[in-house]
Structure 1
Amino acid sequence: MVVFFVMEILPIEVTAMGAIGILLLFDVLTWQEAISGFSNPAVITIGAIFIMSRALVKTGFLEVFADFLAKKGGNRKWLTIFIFLLTVSIISGFINNTAAVAIFIPLGIDLCQRFRISPTKVLLPLSYAAIFGGTLTLIGTSTNLVVSSIMEEMNMAPFSMFEFTKLGLIFLVLGTLYNMIISKWFMPSRSIISSLTRKYHMGSFLTEFKVGEDSPLIGNAYKDLDISQKYNLQVYKIIRDSKNIRFNLQNIIIREGDIFLVHINVKDMLKFKDEMKVLLLTDVKMNVAELTGKNHVIVEGLVSQQSALIGKTLQEFDFRNRYGSFVLAVKRQRELLRDKIAHIRLKFSDTLLIMVPKERLEILRTSNNLIVLEELDIHLRYERYWWFSILVIPAVMLLVAFGVIPIVKAAILGAILLLVMRTLSIQDAYESISWSVIFLIASLVPMGIAIQKTNLDEVTGNLIIGIGTLIGGGEGLDPVIILAVLYGVTFILSAFISNAAVAVMLTPIGIMLATILNVDPRPFLVAICFGASCSFMTPMGYQTNMMVFAPGQYRLKDFFQMGIPLTLVFWITAVYWIPRFWAF
C-alpha cells in the first residue's frame, strides 16, 4: 500500500479505499468500522471549513487585504515581499492553506512583475509560508483536525483552537526569516517575467501545429530548415492522414495538412507560427479569425485541487463551449506528455495555455476549476451579505476557543448559515469541497482502527523505542529522544505520502509510545501534527508545493536544497520546545 501511495499508481483516495476493502474482506475491520470515517468529526469539520473558506475567498476580501498590506512596503522590494509572505502565513492559519495559495499565486506573480524579479524567487517561499502558517491554529491544516479527532475518540482531551499557536508562532518567525534569506540570496532566477503573458516564462508546453498551404515547410524535411535549433522545439511525431509517424522524423518530407506534435516554449511558439505559416490547434479546431482575433488574450490556468477537469480530457469536459476559450498547449511538471492535447487526461497542477475572449475572462477567473495566472482584478465583490462571509470564520474560531461549542458544531452551523443567508449557493458549496481530501481522510480513519486491532501500533512503537535506545545509549531512555525519532519518521514519510495518511497511521503509534514509556501522549501527538504538516522537501509532499512547481519552473533539486535545511531547523526547534510547552 505504501508503494501505491508513493508512486500514485492510483489516485491516493482510491488506494486508501482499496486498502479498506482488503481489510474488510479479511475481517480485520467490521463494516461499521470500515465506513466510520464518513461520520468522523474531522471529516465533517474539514468539509464545512472548505465551504466557509470558499465564501470568504468569493468576497475578494483576502486579495484586497493582502494587496493593501503589500502596498505599505512602497517601493522597498524586500520589505514588500516580507509583508506579503507574512500575510500568507497568517491567513493560512484561518483558512485551508491550499485555498490560500490558490489566491496568492497570482498576487505573488504580480509582485514579481512590479519589482522585476523572477517568480522562482517568491513562489516556493509562498508555499512554505502557507505550510507553516497552517500550524498556527487547529483549523489551519486538516492534519491537526484529524489527530484531534482521533484523540477525542480515545477519550482524550482534544486540541483547543489556539493550542498550537505558541509553537506555531516560533515556526512562523523562523520560517519567515528563512524564506527571506533563500528568496533574496539562494533561489534561482529561472522563471523570467517578460513572457507572452507579461508575467513569466512558461517553459516548454506540449502543443500541435498544422502546416498551412503557404508554409515554407512544404516540400522540405524539417532538418533542412534547422527548425529544432532555430525555434528550440522538439518534434515527437507527425500526424498525416490519421497516421502517426514517429521514426526518422527529420528526414520526412513535409506536406500541407501535416500536424506536428511538439514541445516548445511560448515565445518560440508564436514566432514559429508566424514565420513558418503554421496554425495552432486545440481540442476543437479553430479558424484563422479566432486565432488572430484582437479581442483575445492568452493566459495560463493551473488545474486546481478540486477541479472538475481532473481525470478528464478537454473534449470530455467540453472546455471550449463551457468557457468560450481554447486550450493551445498543456504542461505537466513531472511527466513528459506525448499524446494529442485533446487526448490528455488532466491532473492536479497541470498548466494550460488558454486563448480566451476578453469578455469571457472573468468567467474563467471565477471558476473553481482553474487558477488563472494573469493580470489581477483586485476589488471587493459586494454580493449578498458579503460581510457575513468575512465574519463567520473568526466567529467560529472564537466560539471554539472560549469553549462555547465544539469545533464540529461551530463549523457545521457556520456553513449552514452561509447557505441559508444565500451568501453562497449550494452549487458553490459542492464545488468548494475537495472531495478527494474528504474521501481520503474518511478512508484513512478506519486504517487507524486496523493498526490498533492488529497491534501494529505496539510493534512500531517498540521499534521506535529501539531506535531511540540506540541513539540514547542504553536504559533510562529520555522521552525527548523518542520524540525526536517520532518527529523524524513523520516528516520523512510526509515527504512521499499524504500528510493526512501519515497522521492517521502514526497517531495510534504515538499513543502507544506514551503507554509503553508511561508518559503523557500529548507531546508525541503535537510532534506528529507539526512533522506531518511541515513537508518542505519534495513537491509531492504537500499540495501547495505541487501548485507552485510549474509556475515557478522549479526542479526536484530545488525542493531538496531549500526544503531540507528548513525541515532540520524545524525538527531541532520542535524537539526543544515541545517538551517545554507540553510536559511529559
Structure 2
Amino acid sequence: MLSFSQPTIVLFFFTLTILALIKYQQYPERIFGLLFIALYSCDLVSENQVISSFANQGLLTLILLIICSLALEKTRLLKVVTNYVIKKSYNATWLRLFGLTTIASAILNNTAVVSTMLAPIRNNTHHAASKLLLPLSYAAILGGTLTLVGTSTNLIVNSMVIEAGMPSLRFFDFTLVGLSVVSSCGILLFLSSRLLPSKQLKQQYASDYLIDTEVMLGSTLIGHSIENNGLRNLESLFLVEILRSNRLISPVAPSEVIQANDRLIFSGDIKKVTHLSQFSGLSSFANQNGLPMNNLTEVIIRPESVLIGCSLKKVGFRALFDAAVVAIKRDGETVSGKLGELNLKAGDYLVLAVGDDFKARHNIQKNFFVISGVETEQLLDGYKEKLAIGGFFVAILLSACNLLPLFKGMLILLAGLLMTGCLNGNEVLQRLPKNIWLIIASALLLAQALSNSGAFTFFDDFVRHHQDAFTPFIGLVLVYLMTWLLTELVTNNAAAALIFPIGYELAASLSISPMPYVMAVAFAASASFISPYSYQTNLMVYNAGQYRLTDFIKVGLPISLLYGVTVITALSLIYDIGIA
C-alpha cells in the first residue's frame, strides 16, 4: 500500500490547484473551496489556523474597503467628475481620462471606477468608444499600483504579509514603483492607443420605457448645453427628444441649450431613473406629486380599464389611484411627446410611483395587471452623500498619515453608514465579496500547510547547491515571472495568493529581506494587460468595446514587457539588489 509524506501531499494539492485554475478559470472560488476542504480534512492545517486565516486583519480590511465603497457608488462623485472627461480633441480626452482614472483608482476600487466611466465613454459623440475603453482599463490597473488600497491584490499581499508575522505594509510603500510604471507605461499606452480599432457602438438599453421630465425654473441646467450638463453621458438612459413650447426637437444635438420649462424625454432602463435626480431642477411627475421614486410598481393597463382612450392629465390619475406615472412603454409602437398628454391603450406598460394608499384602492385590479415592484438604484443626497464621501476619504487620509489603522477607520465608517441608512443590511449581504473571502482565506491556509509540512525545504537545498548561479536578482526575476504568467493564465488574486509563499520562502533561503519579493508578487499580480479574462476591468471593457483578443495582444504585450522591466529595475534599485 502506497503512503505519502505530508510535504508530498501538500505539493500535490498546490500543483493540482494551479492546474485546476488554468483549466476551470471561471470557477476560482470552487477550486479554492475544495482546496480548503482537502487541507482541513487531511489534518494539514489546524483549527486555529483555519480561524486565523478567515479572520486575517488584512483580508478583513479588504472586505471592509469593498463594502464601504458601495456607498460611494451611490453618490454623484464619480459621475460629476466624468462629465469633464470627454472633449472634442482625442488627445485632450485621452489625457483627462488617463489622469482621472489613475488618480481615482489609487484610492477607490478600480472596478467601480471603470463601471462608472463606461457609460460616458460609450455614449460620447466625439470619439469611438473602442479608442478609449481599453486605455480606461489599463489606466485603472496602473493607478491601482500606486497605493496599498489601490487594488485588491495589494491588500491580499498585505494580508499574507501580516499572516507571515511581518509588519503591515504602509499606504505609500507601493507609490515609488507605482509612479515609475504609471509614467513609463502611460507614455507607451498613449502612443499605442492609435492601434486600437475604431468601432461605432450601437446604443443598447435594457428597456424602451419613455421617461418624461421637466426643467423647472431656477434649474442649474438652464443656459447650458446638453453636453456640458452631462445629459449625453448617462448610464442606460438616452435623451431622445425635447418638447419646447409645443415644438418637438428630435434628435437632440449635443450643443442644444436647455431652457426653462423644457420637457426632456428620456428612453432606457427604468431602474436608472433615479440617476436623473442628480440634476438640480429636473422634475418628473412623481416629484411634482410628492411621491417617492424608491417605491415603483410596474403595471399593464387592462382591456376594460377606464383609462383607455384618455390621457393622464384628463383622467386625474393621482386622485384615482394615489400614484403617478413615471414612465410608459408600448409594445410594437414608438411613443413620443408629453407623458401626460398621451392617449392610453390596452396593454400599455406603466411604471408608477405609488403612495401609501395605492394597495388599498379597490380600483387597482379593475384597471391594471400588477406585474411587480421595480427596484431602482438609489442615489444618496444631503448629509448622507457628504458622510459617504467625506467619511471614506477621511479614513483613507488618516491611514495614509499613519494616524489611524485602515481596518479601524473602515470599521467605524461602516458602522456610521449602517446607522444613518447610507447602506442597509441587505445591500451589504448581497454585495459581500464572499468569493474573495474564500479564495484568500484558502490561499492563506495553503501557505500555512506548506510551512507546517516543510514542503519548501527543497529551496534551501537548491540554493545551497547553486549559490554561484542563483543570486537575489535571479530570484527576483523568477518570482516576478511566475506571478505574471499565473496572472495571465488564471486571475490576479489567485496568482498573488499562490506565489507569495514561494517568494517569501525563497527570500529566506537566500538570507535576504523578503520585501523586494513581496513587492514583486504584488506588482506582477497586477500586470494583466494581455488577457481580457484575467482581470475584471479588462473583461468589462472587452465586451463593452467589442474588442478581439488580438487587440489586447497588440497593445497589451508591449506594455506588459515594459511594465515588467520597469518594476524589476525599480525594485532592484530601491532594495539594492545587484544583478551579479
TM-score class normalised by the smaller sequence? 0.5 to 0.7
Q: Cα offset for 1:13?
A: 0.8
Change (3 A) 1:8 1:51: same
- Which residue of structure 2 aligns with residue 62 of structure 1? 78
Secondary structure of the residue aligned to 1:541 is coil
Counterpart-to-counterpart distance in 1, 2:445 and 2:90? 49
The residue type paired with residue 415 of structure 1 is: L
Confirm or deny that 1:131 pairs with 2:141.
Answer: yes
The residue type paired with residue 566 of structure 1 is: I
- Which residue of structure 1 aligns with residue 106 of structure 2? 93
Q: Cα offset for 1:462?
A: 6.8
- Which residue of structure 2 aligns with residue 397 of structure 1? 396
Change (3 A) 1:465 1:47: farther
- Asked whether the equivalents of residues 296 and 358 of structure 1 are also in contact (C-alpha less than 8 Å), the reply is no
Q: Cα offset for 1:530?
A: 0.2
Change (3 A) 1:10 1:96: closer
Confirm or deny that 1:115 pairs with 2:123.
Answer: no
- Which residue of structure 2 aligns with residue 186 of structure 1? 195
Counterpart-to-counterpart distance in 1, 2:540 and 2:148? 23
- Asked whether the equivalents of residues 108 and 123 of structure 1 are also in contact (C-alpha less than 8 Å), the reply is yes
1:15 to 31, 42, 55: 31
Counterpart-to-counterpart distance in 1, 2:88 and 2:500? 47
Secondary structure of the residue aligned to 1:18 is helix
Confirm or deny that 1:366 pairs with 2:384.
Answer: no
Question: Where does 1:210-221 land on structure 2 (aligned, <5 Å)?
Answer: none
TM superposition score normalised by structure 1: 0.65
- Which residue of structure 2 aligns with residue 552 of structure 1? 545
Counterpart-to-counterpart distance in 2, 1:128 and 1:456? 37
Change (3 A) 1:418 1:553: same
The residue type paired with residue 415 of structure 2 is: I
The residue type paired with residue 513 of structure 2 is: D
Secondary structure of the residue aligned to 1:385 is helix
Unpaired segments ≥5 residues, structure 2: 1-16, 207-264, 272-294, 301-333, 335-347, 354-372
Counterpart-to-counterpart distance in 2, 1:547 and 1:10? 15
Secondary structure of the residue aligned to 1:394 is helix
- Asked whether the equivalents of residues 494 and 502 of structure 1 are also in contact (C-alpha less than 8 Å), the reply is yes
Secondary structure of the residue aligned to 1:550 is helix
The residue type paired with residue 553 of structure 1 is: Q
Q: Cα offset for 1:533?
A: 1.4
Counterpart-to-counterpart distance in 1, 2:270 and 2:462? 48
Unpaired segments ≥5 residues, structure 1: 200-294, 302-320, 327-354, 368-379
Counterpart-to-counterpart distance in 2, 1:323 and 1:491? 49
Counterpart-to-counterpart distance in 2, 1:511 and 1:528? 10
- Which residue of structure 2 aligns with residue 81 of structure 1? 94
The residue type paired with residue 366 of structure 1 is: E
Counterpart-to-counterpart distance in 1, 2:147 and 2:297? 38
Q: Cα offset for 1:182?
A: 2.2
Once the two structures are superposed, residues 362-381 of structure 1 have per-residue CA deviations (whole angstroms, 9 ceiling, x without a partner) of 967738xxxxxxxxxxxx85
Q: Which of the two has higher C-alpha Rg?
A: 2
2:119 to 106, 115, 127: 106
- Which residue of structure 1 aligns with residue 339 of structure 2? none
- Which residue of structure 1 aligns with residue 12 of structure 2? none
Q: Cα offset for 1:521?
A: 0.9
Change (3 A) 1:499 1:323: farther
Secondary structure of the residue aligned to 1:143 is helix
Change (3 A) 1:576 1:432: same
- Which residue of structure 2 aligns with residue 166 of structure 1? 176
- Asked whether the equivalents of residues 75 and 385 of structure 2 are also in contact (C-alpha less than 8 Å), the reply is yes
Counterpart-to-counterpart distance in 2, 1:98 and 1:37? 25
The residue type paired with residue 48 of structure 2 is: Q
- Asked whether the equivalents of residues 324 and 360 of structure 1 are also in contact (C-alpha less than 8 Å), the reply is yes
- Which residue of structure 2 aligns with residue 440 of structure 1? 439
- Which residue of structure 1 aligns with residue 429 of structure 2? 430
How many percent identity over aligned positions? 27
- Asked whether the equivalents of residues 139 and 161 of structure 1 are also in contact (C-alpha less than 8 Å), the reply is yes
Counterpart-to-counterpart distance in 2, 1:463 and 1:492? 22
TM superposition score normalised by structure 2: 0.65
The residue type paired with residue 169 of structure 2 is: F
- Which residue of structure 1 aligns with residue 304 of structure 2? none
Secondary structure of the residue aligned to 2:404 is coil
Change (3 A) 1:479 1:9: closer
Counterpart-to-counterpart distance in 1, 2:435 and 2:298? 28
Counterpart-to-counterpart distance in 1, 2:352 and 2:435? 29
Once the two structures are superposed, residues 71-127 of structure 1 have per-residue CA deviations (whole angstroms, 9 ceiling, x without a partner) of 5xx4322211221122111111111111211111112213xx32142x222111111
- Asked whether the equivalents of residues 132 and 171 of structure 1 are also in contact (C-alpha less than 8 Å), the reply is yes
2:531 to 527, 530, 538: 538
Change (3 A) 1:457 1:418: farther
Counterpart-to-counterpart distance in 1, 2:205 and 2:416? 42
Aligned length: 416
Counterpart-to-counterpart distance in 1, 2:454 and 2:464? 16
- Which residue of structure 1 aligns with residue 362 of structure 2? none
Counterpart-to-counterpart distance in 2, 1:323 and 1:19? 45
What is the RMSD computed on CA atoms of the aligned residues?
3.4
Confirm or deny that 1:570 pairs with 2:563.
Answer: yes
Greater shift, 425-434 or 569-578, is seen at 425-434
Once the two structures are superposed, residues 535-580 of structure 1 have per-residue CA deviations (whole angstroms, 9 ceiling, x without a partner) of 1111121111111111111222222222221111011101111122
Counterpart-to-counterpart distance in 1, 2:539 and 2:297? 25
Secondary structure of the residue aligned to 2:167 is coil
